Structure 1
Amino acid sequence: MTSLTYEQQVAIARRLQKIARLIDKELTAAAGQRVPFSLYTWGGNRSQYISNTARAEVKVAMQETLDRWNEPQDPPPGQGGWQ
């Protein structure tokens, strides 16, 4: 795993708002409507996240993802056996 310096973590924190606006714009263009998202980074002594939705919703989505990762998975749409 990559280990980031404190200075690198600060630089990332300063750019997260800009990065989030870019992600929001691209997801909206792809879906034709606003899509909830969160971006989670780590690698130093502290993780960081940015989102365009409420923290409570992010927590639920993150927990659902963690729970799903503990289950056998079907291949993503467009891969494996999906037609």
Structure 2
Amino acid sequence: MKVVYEAANLIDAHLVKHALESADIPVFLRGEALVGGMGELPLFGVVAVCVPDSAWPEASGIVARLPLSEPPVATADEDCVGGGDWVPA
């Protein structure tokens, strides 16, 4: 899996997730469960939107067109490691 977007916040992560899923691209949010663990402290750079390697080119095009609070910074060579087991739906 490859990171297609590193989210500044959980809202942006879910916006990207829903846009990709509407294009039938499977998505895994790495680090989503960690956000609540920090309580009220701001936590940045923890949530990454990951897609299968083969879907990365299409997914990156979709993400580039979304109105996000932070521009996409992920590159095609950034793996989605540490995300646990991903099982396609």
TM class by shorter chain equals under 0.3
Larger Rg: 1
Q: Structure 2-normalised TM-score? A: 0.24
Higher helix share: 1
